[in-house]
Amino acid sequence: MTAAAVLRALDGPLAVEEIELNPVGPGQVRVRLAAAGVCHSDLSLANGTLRQPLPAVLGHEGAGVVVETGEGVADVKPGDHVVLNWSPPCRACWYCEHGEPYLCLHADDARAVPFATAGGEPVYAGLGTGAFAAETVVGAHACIPVPADIPLAEAALLGCAVLTGVGAVTNAAKVRPGQTVAVIGLGGVGLAAIQGARIAGASAIIAVDPAPDKEELARSLGATHFVTPGERLPKEIRGMTGGLGADHAIECVGRGDTIRAAWSATRRGGTATVVGLGSAQDPVTFNALEVAYFARTIVGCMYGSTDPAVDVPLLLEHYRAGRLNLAALVSDEVGLDGVGEAFSRMRSGRGARTLIRF
Ligand code: APR
Ligand code: ZN
Ligand code: ZN
């Protein structure tokens, strides 16, 4: 039996229950979690903004130790430390063969199949990962090995916030040295994007969040400016970028109005990169003049346009060289029964990442 935080109904509590993991099948791996971050996408799955079969064990930003491997698994063995990839590429489909593994046609396959039972009833793994559990069973493709000297609590953050936020800047926006970058939304993803912009050599990094208490942390991670959002946001950002607008805006909230603000905040010819995953009922509007006239680019970005197997080692190089501060992203630590508390902090925009420690 494995302790897990189980969501049984939309907007319901995530109560800690005992689940029975399915036996480890061919190509699968059982991982004992050391830590899991609580991401806004977990909240979006729990409130129905993103779809998820229930009951489910959410949690997709995890790291831990391999305890058992199924038939045919060659890349990891018991005892290995791994970060979990919630969008594991099959390496064989059209997208995988065309260098876009983050859009793999089979990345969602594990989401539709139960990974455990509770009282005989099937239980699904949120984003195919199920990291809000002491142990989980995932495909071997979902395990990215990390060296044993990397603290697993910090490694967990790589699994979503850091791959997504840094990747958005380096892989999707492709920010070049000297460019100006606005980062809208300073949760785990946005704070990682700020660090990505600093690593990329941005000349100005404008951090945007309604919570003024995010300023100090944002500046410590590389932000050169901080501003709270409002109708004047695009104008204020133009004021900070020589009247032009930012070369890049990175949207890390997932709302129509912030996506629109990100677009309006860039210069003519600039690029807005949208990381936030919002609601299908929340539109973003453009008028028929401005799209061609401003000649901007809007880039959608899944999982930071990364290949975790390639990008996790790169991020670890930044971490070892002191360029990537993972610990700073964690504002709160809780036990498995603290997911609800993390959700309420997130709803009110308080804190950065809450980390579950097992
Ligand atoms: N303008 C700017 N920031 C905002 C606004 C706004 N109008 N409204 C909310 N925010 C801030 C919040 O104050 C919070 O600091 O956005 C931040 C969001 O942080 P988290 O809830 O921790 O979200 P995170 O996990 O970082 O994910 C961000 O990326 O992967 C997606 O689904 C995820 O859409 C979500 C986004
Ligand atoms: Zn996430
Ligand atoms: Zn594929």
Residues 297 and 70 sit within 8 Å (Cβ to Cβ): no
In percent, how much of the chain has pLDDT > 70?
A: 100
Residues 42 and 256 sit within 8 Å (Cβ to Cβ): no
Tell me which of 38, 40, 169 to substitute to probe ligand 1's pocket, judged by most ligand atoms within 8 Å of the beta carbon. 40
* Cα gap 355→248, rounded to integer Å: 30
If you measure from the C-alpha of residue 164 to the centroid of ligand 2, how many angstroms do you get, rounded to a whole number?
8
If you measure from the C-alpha of residue 301 to the centroid of ligand 1, how many angstroms do you get, rounded to a whole number?
15
Ligand number nearest CA of 105 is: 3
* Cα gap 293→97, rounded to integer Å: 36
As given in the structure block, the two tokens for residue 227 are 């501003």
Torsion angles phi and psi, residue 175, rounded to 5: -60, 135
The closest residue, in CA terms, to atom 18 on ligand 1 is 187
Residue 99 gets the label, from left (phi > 0), alpha (psi -120 to 50) or beta, of left
Instruction: Compute the Cα dihedral for 171, 174, 177, 180 and give only its sign.
Output: negative
What mean pLDDT do residues 174-195 have? 98
Torsion angles phi and psi, residue 329, rounded to 5: -75, -20
If you measure from the C-alpha of residue 76 to the centroid of ligand 1, how many angstroms do you get, rounded to a whole number?
34
What confidence tens digit (pLDDT) does each residue in 132-148 have?
Answer: 999 999 999 999 999 99
Decide: helix, strand or coil at residue 79: coil
DSSP H helices in 63-120? 94-97
Residues 163 and 303 sit within 8 Å (Cβ to Cβ): yes
- Ligand 1 proximity of 346 Cβ (cutoff 6 Å): yes
Residues 319 and 13 sit within 8 Å (Cβ to Cβ): no
- Ligand 1 proximity of 187 Cβ (cutoff 6 Å): yes
If you measure from the C-alpha of residue 43 to the centroid of ligand 1, how many angstroms do you get, rounded to a whole number?
11
Give the class (CATH, top level) of 174-300: alpha beta
Q: Which amino acid is at 80?
A: D
Domain ranges of the chain: 2-161+305-357, 174-300
pLDDT at 159: 98
pLDDT at 172: 98
Beta strands in 197-319 (DSSP E): 204-208, 225-227, 246-251, 266-274, 297-300
What mean pLDDT do residues 278-284 have? 95
The closest residue, in CA terms, to atom 11 on ligand 1 is 185
Nearest to 263 by CA among 276, 252, 250, 272: 272
pLDDT at 191: 98
The CATH fold assigned to 2-161+305-357 is Quinone Oxidoreductase; Chain A, domain 1 (3.90.180)
pLDDT at 133: 98
| ipTM for the predicted complex | 0.99
In percent, how much of the chain has pLDDT > 90?
A: 100
